Amino acid sequence: MSITLTIIILTSIISIVAMSNAKMKGELIFWPAVIKNNNQYYRFLSYGLIHADYIHLSFNMLALYSFGVFVEDHLFSAPYFFGARGKIFFLVMYVGALIVSTIPDYIKYKDIYGYTALGASGAVSAVIFAGIILQPNLPIRFMFIPFDIPGYIFGILFLALSAYLAKKGTGNIGHVAHFFGALFGIAFTVIMVKAFSTNHVDVLSDFMKAILSR
């Protein structure tokens, strides 16, 4: 079974159970003040296993499945960038994104007990943008738009919207996690391909060429 499907199954089971178990949800949720005062650093990971409701869960898992299988099996793995090590790099990226995407919110809210967050959006964003940086013209389609949007256009709009909403401070939605998860996915992919790829390519150069050749 792929890493992507394993994550989806595990996350779905835990999320569904936690939706009807407030104590379990409270033990797993990202809670900066509790992390600081009780040293519960596991929350930097566990929050990604729970979601607010079925819509939140479905949206994240559908996005992860749509991009994750492609990135894991067709970009990171053989015969492309990391060969047999592709799945390991994919897992490291996903876990790393869960941690890194919450650090800005931890710094901001570590003394505010009222702030909590949950959901795998930061890690899912990393997977999406890993796919975009390697395949910038990857066609993306939404149900309400009757045509494909190139991946890099979607990426620009996503980052711009996330930055705007984060600055505006819309509720407790993790827009900052989305934004930093996306940046982590890009940075991780560029650095790891340069350092460990079986194909010696310049990801950023190829990205620009792909865009300019359209």
What pLDDT score was predicted for residue 149?
A: 80
- β-bridge mates for residue 95, sequence order: none
Distance CA 17, CA 111 (A): 29
Low-confidence stretches of the chain (pLDDT beneath 70)? 78, 141-146, 162-163, 165-174, 214
Contact indicator for 186, 135 with CB cutoff of 8 Å = no
pTM: 0.89
Domain ranges, ordered by start, for the chain: 3-212
Structure tokens at 193: 């391909």
Span 180-209, pLDDT tens digits = 999 999 999 999 998 888 777 788 888 888
3-class SS string, the chain: CCHHHHHHHHHHHHHHHHHCCHHHHHHHCECHHHHHHHCCCCHHHHHHHCCCCHHHHHHHHHHHHHHHHHHHHHHHCCCCCCHHHHHHHHHHHHHHHHHHCCHHHHHHHCCCCCCCECCCHHHHHHHHHHHHHHCCCCEECCCCCCCCEEHHHHHHHHHHHHHHHHHHCCCCCCHHHHHHHHHHHHHHHHHHHHHHCCCCCCHHHHHHHHHHCC
Considering only the top CATH level, what class is 3-212? mainly alpha
What pLDDT score was predicted for residue 144?
A: 56
